[in-house]
């Protein structure tokens, strides 16, 4: 494991993951350290705003047409972790926009996350509880950063087949170094676990 991989949590970030161990790694680390320093000096609202700006940058810098589209929900079967900022946004959104949640699936997901067996869940059981019957996000305006980050350029059929080697994603080193810094600065928690513990308080 390289020094960079110890420093940056890259498990979910395509650019970082691809660059660790390559000639680009020092630049990635440098950007990460600069962003982390910036984050130390900022208020929460600024962090949220900059995070969304960075994700817009990923979208705008895409070299190829993005194949993601409304109704495509393969990514909504991945584990999503959220920060305290995102928890507040989601709870506020749910208070004014109540959604029906499949409590049974939520309980299965929460148990798997607590037991470390998420990856063993069958694909349908991993479906996010916020995905509605039309395969659209029911909290779209308040969806987490991770949900906003992935832009796929390969054919959508590969996403559903879970054939990761066939999936191409847009990369952006600066934006991903920033998001890495966000993820190492704040405590993150799995979305289903958070929901299980907080839905009844709404």
- Among positive and negative, which fits the CA dihedral 67, 68, 72, 77? positive
Binder among 8, 47, 139, 159 for ligand SF4 (CB under 6 A) = 139
Binder among 20, 31, 106, 128 for ligand SF4 (CB under 6 A) = 128
Task: Tell me which stretch binds ligand SF4 (CB under 6 A): 2-10, 138-146, 155-163, 164-172.
Answer: 138-146
Task: Tell me which stretch binds ligand SF4 (CB under 6 A): 13-21, 92-100, 143-151, 170-178.
Answer: 143-151
Determine the 3-state secondary structure of 118 from DSSP.
helix
The contacts of residue 110 (CB under 8 Å, 6+ apart) are 190, 192, 193, 195, 196
Tokens of 37: 């320093």
Task: CB nearer to ligand SF4: give 91 or 137.
Answer: 137
Least distance from C-beta 23 to ligand SF4, angstroms?
Answer: 34
What are residue 105's phi and psi, to 5 degrees?
Answer: -65, -40
Least distance from C-beta 124 to ligand SF4, angstroms?
Answer: 14
Least distance from C-beta 90 to ligand SF4, angstroms?
Answer: 8
16 binds ligand SF4 (CB under 6 A): no
User: Cβ(31)–Cβ(7) under 8 Å?
Assistant: no
145 binds ligand SF4 (CB under 6 A): no
The contacts of residue 82 (CB under 8 Å, 6+ apart) are 90, 144, 145, 146, 188, 189, 190, 191, 194
Binder among 20, 121, 147, 182 for ligand SF4 (CB under 6 A) = 147
Least distance from C-beta 5 to ligand SF4, angstroms?
Answer: 26
What own/partner pairs with CB < 8 Å and gap ≥ 24 does 37-42 have? 38/181, 39/181, 39/182, 39/185, 40/185
Site string for ligand SF4, 72-111 (x = CB under 6 A): ----x---x-------------------------------
C-alpha distance from residue 33 to each of 27, 36, 60, 75, 178 (Å) = 10, 5, 24, 29, 9
Least distance from C-beta 12 to ligand SF4, angstroms?
Answer: 12
Binding site for ligand SF4 (CB under 6 A): 76, 80, 128, 130-131, 137, 139, 143-144, 147
């Amino acid at each position: 494991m390289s020094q960079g991989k110890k420093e940056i949590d890259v498990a979910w970030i395509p650019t970082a993951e691809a660059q660790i161990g390559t000639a680009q790694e020092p630049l990635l680390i440098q950007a990460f350290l600069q962003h982390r320093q910036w984050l130390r000096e900022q208020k929460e609202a600024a962090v949220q705003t900059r995070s969304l700006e960075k994700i817009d940058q990923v979208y705008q810098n895409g070299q190829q047409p993005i194949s993601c589209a409304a109704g495509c929900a393969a990514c909504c079967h991945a584990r999503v972790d959220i920060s305290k900022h995102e928890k507040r946004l989601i709870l506020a959104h749910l208070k004014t926009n109540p959604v029906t949640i499949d409590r049974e699936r939520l309980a299965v997901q929460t148990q798997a996350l607590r037991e470390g067996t998420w990856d063993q869940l069958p694909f349908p059981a991993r479906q996010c509880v916020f995905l509605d019957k039309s395969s659209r996000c029911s909290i779209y305006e308040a969806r987490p950063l991770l949900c906003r980050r992935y832009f796929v350029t390969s054919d959508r059929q590969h996403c559903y087949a879970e054939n990761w080697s066939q999936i191409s994603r847009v990369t952006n080193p600066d934006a991903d170094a920033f998001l890495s810094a966000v993820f190492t600065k704040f405590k993150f928690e799995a979305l289903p676990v958070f929901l299980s513990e907080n839905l009844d308080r709404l």
